[in-house]
Chains A and B, each alone.
Chain A
Amino acid sequence: MADRKYTEDHEWVEVDGDSGVIGISEYAQEQLGDVVFVELPEVGKVLDRGDEVAVVESVKAAAEVYAPVGGEVLEVNEDLNGDPSLVNTDPFGDGWFAKLKLSDPDELDELMDEDTYKKFVEGLS
């Protein structure tokens, strides 16, 4: 069971040591519809928590994705350039956006865990 933490804007971060992988949730990709393009950050960019890290585009919408935690961008998912549909088909796996080196692991405490997020999403509909 993955140890993911979530924001109210439906971003998730999955921690591994002092780095974390980020992406958007199943609910978010559902809401967006077919993803056609993802604008990814530059490797090396340093972000604060809440900074815009990516933009996800569907045919009729563009949604900003905000960094759930602060850090330096170590890697981005180049696969999304050739196949943005990965965000729809596997948002928690192959549809990941970027890997960050966490600047402050304490920020994770302010995020929702799996169960809390699940209840949050249920409350939305």
Chain B
Amino acid sequence: MRYLPLTDADRSAMLAEIGAASIDDLFVDVPKDARFGGSFDLSDHMAEFEVEQTMSAMAAKNLTTAGAPSFLGAGAYRHHVPATVDHLIQRGEFLTSYTPYQPEISQGTLQALFEFQTMVALITGMDVANASMYDGATACAEAVLMARRITRRNRAVISGSVHPHYSAVTETQAKYVDIAIDIREPDLTGDEDLTGLIDGDTACVVVQNPGVFGHVRDLTPLAEACHAAGALLIVVVTETVSLGAIRSPGEMGADIVVAEGQSLGNPQGFGGPYVGLFAAREKYVRQMPGRLAGETVDADGKRGWVLTLSTREQHIRREKATSNICTNSGLCALAFTIHLSLLGEDGFRDLAMLNHARASQLADRLAEVPGVEVLPDAFFNEFALRLPGDAAAAVEAMAARNILAGVPASRLYGAGSGLDDILLVAASELTGQAEMDALVSGLPEVLA
């Protein structure tokens, strides 16, 4: 077998060296009735090309967003990833390296993480960022637990602007911890006012900007209301490219920012692996979960980097750790970093404005479709539509025409959520006129 270097001759020689009659001697500690003597309902080994054929056939059963006009967003976005990114992350020294616990031979990873942390802090407008979380949703949950540790209060308010996966994950992760999670009604109009809910028991308010229905807002008044009550403001960003166009959460007064970094460097990939961004104010750094790369010097006085503040983490603090997270999303964070390096200051802003331009053009055209209402006045690259009919049915009908028209809100919130006529539509730099034509002309036909 191509992945196994040992030959039968090797095995015999090694067993003889050890003084074992057969491999079974080495499994002597496994009780006889624990040894599986049956047959697995699984295939036997395959040649590489056989594996390729099998898996290609499976992949061919999917309609791809590369092969069809696609307007899907709702937390995962279709963007162009420059060819350079995928080549660099597949270098064996990045792909097949381990967590940088031995810093002398991991400076590549550590320096890249330091650059990642810096970039995340810059785009979110915060002081420090960690070396990534699993995804935006788990980062959100960890942020709420962190707010509880900091404030020692046990109530969290989750705005109706927050993606339901994020609030569900937060609620689940907080389930057996002493904090009540108050999830507000979906904020369809963008008019939600949370100030009356913030009191001396509130650890944090979690708000998403742009919101799940697309609304973009100035969060400064909300930040002030939180701080006046001694609560923290946690801002969620599901589309990182928006940070190139919209005022940063840090500028607006956020205490913790969590984001989904998938938009940069990473494919939609049917939902994972993605990369959670986590940034906070400097004074809270010792309460942050996840790994942190820090600068230092070596014995020769040369600048280098190490994983630091490890005493927050599970392998040292055990039951008092800030989180149980160990493996995070290193390679996805690297892809993010390389993509953002290629974009640079101007490219990031230009990409963001191009996204907004395409969404804006699309929204203006969709607003002319009879019965269709664009809900947010202010948005970035995604907006909710109110349709004159069931959104999920419209999406199915469009899919039959090979057009991926968007995400029905009922898919996100479940049946019976009262949002059956709401469709989330996203655009990006990849959304060309032909795609827009297909949606704008197809939608009225399926709604008729």
Contact status B316-A61, CB under 8 Å: yes
Asked if A117 is an interface residue, CB under 8 A from chain B, the answer is: no
Contact status B286-A62, CB under 8 Å: no
B95 to chain A, nearest CB (A): 28
Q: Which of B286, B311, B316, B320 has the most CB of A within 10 A?
A: B311
Contacts of B317 in A (CB 8 A): 62
Interface size on A, residues (CB 8 A): 8
Contacts of A60 in B (CB 8 A): 310-311, 316
The prevalent SS among residues of A at the interface is strand
Asked if A75 is an interface residue, CB under 8 A from chain B, the answer is: no
Residue of A nearest to B286 (CB): A37
Asked if A57 is an interface residue, CB under 8 A from chain B, the answer is: yes
Asked if A59 is an interface residue, CB under 8 A from chain B, the answer is: yes
Contacts of B286 in A (CB 8 A): 37
A118 to chain B, nearest CB (A): 30
Binary CB contact string for chain A from 57 to 70 against chain B (1 if under 8 A, 0 otherwise): 11111100000000
B166 to chain A, nearest CB (A): 31
Residue of B nearest to A58 (CB): B311
Contacts of B316 in A (CB 8 A): 60-62
Q: How far is the CA of A59 from the CA of B286 in the complex (A)?
A: 13
Binary CB contact string for chain B from 269 to 313 against chain A (1 if under 8 A, 0 otherwise): 000000000000000001000000000000000000000001100
Q: How far is the CA of A60 from the CA of B317 in the complex (A)?
A: 9
Residue of B nearest to A39 (CB): B286
B153 to chain A, nearest CB (A): 16
Contacts of A58 in B (CB 8 A): 311
Contacts of B310 in A (CB 8 A): 59-60
Binary CB contact string for chain A from 37 to 63 against chain B (1 if under 8 A, 0 otherwise): 100000000000000000001111110
- Of residues 92 to 106 in A, which have CB atoms within 8 Å of B's CB atoms? none
A33 to chain B, nearest CB (A): 12
B306 to chain A, nearest CB (A): 9
Q: Which A residues are closer than 8 A to B by beta carbons?
A: 36-37, 57-62
Q: Which B residues are closer than 8 A to A by beta carbons?
A: 286, 310-311, 316-317, 320
Task: Name 16 A/B residue pairs within 8 A (Cβ), A-sorted.
Answer: A36-B311, A37-B286, A37-B311, A57-B311, A58-B311, A59-B310, A59-B311, A60-B310, A60-B311, A60-B316, A61-B311, A61-B316, A62-B311, A62-B316, A62-B317, A62-B320
Besides A37-B311, A61-B311, A62-B320, 12 new A-B residue pairs in contact (Cβ under 8 A), listed by A number: A36-B311, A37-B286, A57-B311, A58-B311, A59-B310, A59-B311, A60-B311, A60-B316, A61-B316, A62-B311, A62-B316, A62-B317
